[in-house]
Structure 1
Amino acid sequence: MLDINGGELVLLLLVAVLVIGPERLPKYAEQLGQWARRARSFVQETKTRVDDELGDDLKDVDWAALDPRRYDPRRIVREALLDDLPTGSGASAKSRASAAPLAAAGTSWRASTPAPEPAPGAPAPFDDEAT
C-alpha cells in the first residue's frame, strides 16, 4: 500500500527517533496506534452501514467483474460477434450456413436485409424517424 521496503522503514524509524527524541517516542507511538485502531473501526463501521443501507440486493454483486481495469473492448466485441446464431428466429439453414464464415472472419452476420423494390410508379419509401 505504501511501498516502503525494509531499509526505508529503518531509516524512517531512525529519523523519528532523532527528531522526536527517545523520551517522547513511546507517547507518539501509542497515539499512532490509537489513530490506527480508530481508523480501522471507522472503516469497518462504514462498510457495515453501507451493507445495511444497500440491503441484500447488492451483496451478491461481483465487484471484481465491474473493475474498469478488466475492461477489454476487443474481448467484448469478439464475444458479441461470435455469439451463437439464433435458432428460433426463422433463419433458414442456408442463411445460417452463409453466416458461419462471416462470424469466423470476425465480421457481423447481422447485416440488414435490403428493402424490397417499390412497385413501378409508387412513391419512394419515407422514414420519418430517419430525418
Structure 2
Amino acid sequence: MDAEKFFILLLIGVFVLGPERIPGYAAQLGRIVKEVRRMAAGAQEQLREELGPDFDSLNWNKLDPRQYDHRRIILDALNEDAAGPDSGTPVTKPVTLSAPAPRLVEHLAPGQLAPFDSEAT
C-alpha cells in the first residue's frame, strides 16, 4: 500500500470515527496485531517441535498452491485414466482439451422483447 492510499484511509478514519475515538481503536488494533503475531509464532514453534529437524529443511515454496497449473494436473489425470490405473503402459492417444464450440448469438429485432420465463425465478 503506498503512502497516498494510507493517507486517504487515515483521513476517512478520522471523519468516520472522530478524533476522540481514534487512539482507542489504534491501541486495540495494536493489541490484535501483537496477538496474531504471537499466535503465528506459537504455531511455527509447534510445527518445529512436531516435525523436528526436518522443519528447517522444508521447502515452503514447493508447497505453494499458486505454482501449480490446474490444467496440467487435469490433463495428467485424464491421460492416466485413459491408460488405466497402474497399467504401466503408455497412453496411446493422449487426451487434449479443445476450445469450446462458438455459441450462436441470436439478435433481437428492434423493439422485440427478450424472452422471459416467469417460472424460472
TM-score, structure 2 normalization: 0.49
Larger RCO, structure (CA 8 Å, separation 6 or more)? 1
Q: Which has the larger radius of gyration?
A: 1
